[in-house]
Amino acid sequence: MTAHVPRAAVVLAGGRATRLGGAEKARVEVDGRMLLDAVLDAVAVCEPVIVVGPAHLARPGVRVVREEPAFGGPVAAIEAALAALPEATAETWVLACDLPRAAGVVDALEGVRMPDDADAVVLRDADGRSQPLAGRYRVETLRRAIGALSVVEGVAMRRLTAALRMHEIEDAHGVSIDLDTWEDVAAYRAASRRTRDDADAGREEMS
Protein backbone atom coordinates (compact mmCIF):
# COMPACT_ATOMS: atom_id res chain seq x y z
CA MET A 1 0.00 0.00 0.00
CA THR A 2 1.34 3.42 -0.95
CA ALA A 3 0.52 6.10 1.59
CA HIS A 4 -0.53 9.06 -0.58
CA VAL A 5 -2.64 10.58 2.20
CA PRO A 6 -2.17 9.84 5.93
CA ARG A 7 -5.11 7.72 7.02
CA ALA A 8 -6.34 5.81 10.00
CA ALA A 9 -7.78 2.31 9.72
CA VAL A 10 -10.76 0.78 11.50
CA VAL A 11 -11.21 -3.00 11.35
CA LEU A 12 -14.44 -4.53 12.60
CA ALA A 13 -13.73 -7.87 14.26
CA GLY A 14 -16.24 -8.27 17.05
CA GLY A 15 -19.37 -9.80 15.51
CA ARG A 16 -21.07 -12.97 16.66
CA ALA A 17 -20.43 -14.78 13.34
CA THR A 18 -23.65 -16.74 13.71
CA ARG A 19 -23.34 -18.00 10.13
CA LEU A 20 -20.02 -19.56 11.14
CA GLY A 21 -21.62 -21.39 14.01
CA GLY A 22 -20.24 -18.89 16.48
CA ALA A 23 -16.60 -19.42 15.46
CA GLU A 24 -14.47 -16.29 15.78
CA LYS A 25 -14.33 -15.01 12.24
CA ALA A 26 -11.19 -12.92 12.74
CA ARG A 27 -9.19 -16.06 13.60
CA VAL A 28 -10.35 -18.24 10.70
CA GLU A 29 -7.29 -19.21 8.65
CA VAL A 30 -7.01 -18.83 4.90
CA ASP A 31 -3.87 -18.74 2.79
CA GLY A 32 -1.84 -19.73 5.84
CA ARG A 33 -2.85 -16.90 8.14
CA MET A 34 -5.78 -15.56 10.10
CA LEU A 35 -8.26 -13.33 8.28
CA LEU A 36 -7.60 -10.49 10.70
CA ASP A 37 -3.89 -10.54 9.95
CA ALA A 38 -4.55 -10.28 6.22
CA VAL A 39 -6.55 -7.11 6.83
CA LEU A 40 -4.01 -5.65 9.26
CA ASP A 41 -1.19 -6.26 6.79
CA ALA A 42 -3.15 -4.32 4.17
CA VAL A 43 -3.35 -1.22 6.39
CA ALA A 44 0.00 -1.58 8.15
CA VAL A 45 1.16 1.94 7.20
CA CYS A 46 -1.95 3.60 8.62
CA GLU A 47 -1.89 5.51 11.89
CA PRO A 48 -3.63 4.70 14.10
CA VAL A 49 -5.00 1.22 13.40
CA ILE A 50 -8.07 0.43 15.50
CA VAL A 51 -9.53 -3.07 15.82
CA VAL A 52 -12.99 -3.28 17.31
CA GLY A 53 -13.29 -6.65 19.00
CA PRO A 54 -12.17 -8.72 21.99
CA ALA A 55 -8.92 -7.82 23.73
CA HIS A 56 -7.14 -11.02 22.71
CA LEU A 57 -7.01 -9.75 19.11
CA ALA A 58 -4.37 -7.19 20.10
CA ARG A 59 -1.28 -6.94 17.93
CA PRO A 60 1.82 -4.72 18.19
CA GLY A 61 0.96 -1.26 16.92
CA VAL A 62 -2.76 -1.96 16.98
CA ARG A 63 -5.25 -0.54 19.46
CA VAL A 64 -8.20 -2.74 20.37
CA VAL A 65 -11.46 -1.20 21.54
CA ARG A 66 -14.90 -2.64 22.17
CA GLU A 67 -18.37 -1.30 21.53
CA GLU A 68 -20.73 -1.14 24.49
CA PRO A 69 -22.49 -3.43 24.83
CA ALA A 70 -20.44 -6.04 23.03
CA PHE A 71 -21.96 -7.45 19.83
CA GLY A 72 -23.78 -4.16 19.28
CA GLY A 73 -23.35 -4.36 15.53
CA PRO A 74 -21.22 -2.57 12.94
CA VAL A 75 -22.49 0.97 13.57
CA ALA A 76 -21.87 0.67 17.30
CA ALA A 77 -18.42 -0.73 16.51
CA ILE A 78 -17.60 2.20 14.23
CA GLU A 79 -18.76 4.63 16.92
CA ALA A 80 -16.36 3.01 19.41
CA ALA A 81 -13.51 3.23 16.92
CA LEU A 82 -14.19 6.88 16.13
CA ALA A 83 -13.94 7.70 19.83
CA ALA A 84 -10.38 6.34 19.73
CA LEU A 85 -9.31 8.38 16.69
CA PRO A 86 -7.56 11.72 17.09
CA GLU A 87 -9.89 14.64 16.38
CA ALA A 88 -7.68 15.79 13.51
CA THR A 89 -8.01 12.51 11.58
CA ALA A 90 -9.34 13.35 8.13
CA GLU A 91 -9.91 9.92 6.58
CA THR A 92 -10.12 6.36 7.74
CA TRP A 93 -10.43 2.96 6.15
CA VAL A 94 -13.40 0.99 7.43
CA LEU A 95 -12.89 -2.70 6.74
CA ALA A 96 -14.53 -5.92 7.84
CA CYS A 97 -12.17 -8.53 9.30
CA ASP A 98 -13.34 -11.21 6.86
CA LEU A 99 -11.81 -9.75 3.69
CA PRO A 100 -9.17 -12.28 2.57
CA ARG A 101 -8.23 -9.95 -0.29
CA ALA A 102 -8.05 -6.82 1.84
CA ALA A 103 -4.78 -5.81 0.19
CA GLY A 104 -6.64 -5.76 -3.10
CA VAL A 105 -9.35 -3.55 -1.59
CA VAL A 106 -6.71 -1.07 -0.45
CA ASP A 107 -4.92 -1.18 -3.81
CA ALA A 108 -8.21 -0.61 -5.66
CA LEU A 109 -9.21 2.43 -3.61
CA GLU A 110 -5.94 3.94 -2.39
CA GLY A 111 -5.39 6.11 -5.43
CA VAL A 112 -9.04 6.96 -6.03
CA ARG A 113 -9.73 10.63 -5.47
CA MET A 114 -12.75 11.08 -3.24
CA PRO A 115 -15.05 13.60 -4.95
CA ASP A 116 -15.60 16.84 -3.06
CA ASP A 117 -19.29 16.04 -2.72
CA ALA A 118 -18.71 12.50 -1.38
CA ASP A 119 -18.34 11.27 2.18
CA ALA A 120 -16.91 7.85 1.32
CA VAL A 121 -15.47 5.81 -1.50
CA VAL A 122 -16.38 2.12 -1.42
CA LEU A 123 -16.35 -0.87 -3.71
CA ARG A 124 -19.41 -2.16 -5.57
CA ASP A 125 -19.38 -5.91 -6.22
CA ALA A 126 -20.25 -7.81 -9.39
CA ASP A 127 -23.88 -8.12 -8.26
CA GLY A 128 -24.16 -4.33 -8.00
CA ARG A 129 -24.12 -4.27 -4.21
CA SER A 130 -22.30 -1.53 -2.36
CA GLN A 131 -19.73 -2.85 0.11
CA PRO A 132 -19.63 -0.26 2.93
CA LEU A 133 -17.14 -2.32 4.96
CA ALA A 134 -14.63 -2.14 2.13
CA GLY A 135 -13.97 1.56 1.84
CA ARG A 136 -12.55 4.91 2.93
CA TYR A 137 -14.56 7.51 4.82
CA ARG A 138 -14.27 11.16 5.76
CA VAL A 139 -14.09 11.04 9.53
CA GLU A 140 -15.90 14.32 10.14
CA THR A 141 -19.03 13.35 8.22
CA LEU A 142 -18.92 9.81 9.61
CA ARG A 143 -18.91 11.23 13.14
CA ARG A 144 -21.78 13.54 12.26
CA ALA A 145 -23.89 10.79 10.71
CA ILE A 146 -23.44 8.50 13.71
CA GLY A 147 -24.08 11.36 16.12
CA ALA A 148 -27.42 12.01 14.43
CA LEU A 149 -28.66 8.51 15.27
CA SER A 150 -30.78 8.16 18.39
CA VAL A 151 -29.28 4.72 19.05
CA VAL A 152 -26.41 2.78 17.49
CA GLU A 153 -26.84 -0.68 18.99
CA GLY A 154 -28.27 -3.04 16.43
CA VAL A 155 -28.43 -0.40 13.69
CA ALA A 156 -27.76 -1.75 10.20
CA MET A 157 -24.97 -0.27 8.07
CA ARG A 158 -27.47 0.68 5.37
CA ARG A 159 -29.15 3.09 7.78
CA LEU A 160 -25.83 4.80 8.43
CA THR A 161 -24.77 4.90 4.78
CA ALA A 162 -28.18 6.29 3.79
CA ALA A 163 -27.10 9.50 5.54
CA LEU A 164 -23.77 9.61 3.68
CA ARG A 165 -22.87 10.40 0.09
CA MET A 166 -21.28 7.17 -1.09
CA HIS A 167 -19.02 7.17 -4.14
CA GLU A 168 -18.94 3.62 -5.50
CA ILE A 169 -16.13 2.08 -7.53
CA GLU A 170 -16.66 -1.13 -9.49
CA ASP A 171 -14.85 -4.07 -7.95
CA ALA A 172 -13.42 -5.35 -11.22
CA HIS A 173 -11.34 -8.12 -9.62
CA GLY A 174 -13.59 -9.45 -6.86
CA VAL A 175 -11.37 -8.19 -4.06
CA SER A 176 -14.31 -7.27 -1.82
CA ILE A 177 -15.26 -10.92 -1.36
CA ASP A 178 -16.07 -11.68 2.26
CA LEU A 179 -16.31 -14.99 4.05
CA ASP A 180 -19.58 -15.20 5.98
CA THR A 181 -20.11 -18.97 6.08
CA TRP A 182 -18.03 -22.13 6.25
CA GLU A 183 -19.14 -22.77 2.66
CA ASP A 184 -17.60 -19.42 1.70
CA VAL A 185 -14.39 -20.33 3.51
CA ALA A 186 -14.19 -23.75 1.86
CA ALA A 187 -14.82 -22.30 -1.60
CA TYR A 188 -12.17 -19.63 -1.11
CA ARG A 189 -9.61 -22.13 0.16
CA ALA A 190 -10.30 -24.40 -2.81
CA ALA A 191 -9.94 -21.52 -5.28
CA SER A 192 -6.67 -20.48 -3.64
CA ARG A 193 -5.32 -24.02 -3.92
CA ARG A 194 -6.24 -24.16 -7.61
CA THR A 195 -4.50 -20.84 -8.22
CA ARG A 196 -1.35 -22.05 -6.47
CA ASP A 197 -1.42 -25.38 -8.33
CA ASP A 198 -1.80 -23.59 -11.68
CA ALA A 199 1.09 -21.27 -10.82
CA ASP A 200 3.29 -24.21 -9.82
CA ALA A 201 2.42 -26.04 -13.03
CA GLY A 202 3.29 -22.96 -15.06
CA ARG A 203 6.68 -22.64 -13.38
CA GLU A 204 7.42 -26.31 -14.01
CA GLU A 205 6.61 -25.92 -17.70
CA MET A 206 8.99 -22.96 -17.95
CA SER A 207 11.86 -24.71 -16.14
Tell me: the pLDDT tens digits for 31-72? Answer: 999 999 999 999 999 999 999 999 999 999 999 999 999 999
pLDDT value at position 206?
66
CATH topology of domain 8-180: Spore Coat Polysaccharide Biosynthesis Protein SpsA; Chain A (3.90.550)
Q: How many CA atoms lie within 13 A of 13 on its CB side?
A: 30
pLDDT value at position 119?
98
Q: How many CA atoms lie within 13 A of 178 on its CB side?
A: 23
Per-residue pLDDT of the chain (207 residues), as tens digits, is 444 567 999 999 988 878 788 889 999 999 999 999 999 999 999 999 999 999 999 999 999 999 999 999 999 999 999 999 999 999 999 999 999 999 999 999 999 999 999 999 999 999 999 999 999 999 999 999 999 999 999 999 999 999 999 999 999 999 999 999 999 999 999 998 888 765 556 656 666
Looking at residue 42, its amino acid is A
Q: How many residues does the chain have?
A: 207
pLDDT value at position 1?
42
Is residue 34 classed as helix, strand or coil in its secondary structure?
strand
Q: Which residues pair with 173 in a beta bridge?
A: none
Considering the entire predicted model, what is its pTM? 0.91
Sequence spans of domains, the chain: 8-180
